[in-house]
Amino acid sequence: MFMVSINPDKCAGCGSCVDPCPAKILGMVDDKAEVTGDAAECMGCETCIEICPSGAFTIMEL
Ligand code: SF4
Ligand code: SF4
């Protein structure tokens, strides 16, 4: 499985990562992206890494 994490210090709050996530587990909370869904659903597709202009995402394979 994959574990996605988002560095809130890097997130610029653009919201661009939310809709493209195929697992629909990303959301905006107080203008920062967070994993608002079931983190275990992350597919490790790295779409969020490719989209994020701030390099806020890290994906680890467990
Ligand atoms: S790696 Fe893919 S499935 Fe996981 S959070 Fe990023 S966009 Fe969503
Ligand atoms: S794409 Fe990056 S900067 Fe934009 S909301 Fe998502 S994590 Fe934050």
Structure tokens at 36: 């608002």
Q: In the prediction, which pLDDT does 12 show?
A: 98
Please measure the distance between the N-terminal and C-terminal CA atoms of the chain and give it in whole angstroms: 5
Q: Is 49 in the pocket of ligand 2 (CB under 6 A)?
A: no
Give the number of other CB atoms < 10 A from CB of residue 52.
19
Q: Closest ligand 1 atom to the C-alpha of 59?
A: 1
**pLDDT over 90, % of the chain:** 98
Ligand 1 shell residues, CB under 6 Å = 4, 21-23, 25-26, 42-48, 59
Q: Write down the mean pLDDT value for the chain.
A: 97
Q: Closest ligand 2 atom to the C-alpha of 26?
A: 6
List Cβ neighbours of 51 (8 Å cut-off, separation of 6 or more). Answer: 16, 17, 20
Coil, strand or helix: which one is 50? Answer: helix
Give the number of other CB atoms < 10 A from CB of residue 62.
6
* Segments making up each domain of the chain, as ranges: 2-61
Mean pLDDT to the nearest integer, 4-31: 98
Torsions phi, psi for 5 (to 5 deg) = -135, 150
CATH level 3 topology of 2-61: Alpha-Beta Plaits (3.30.70)
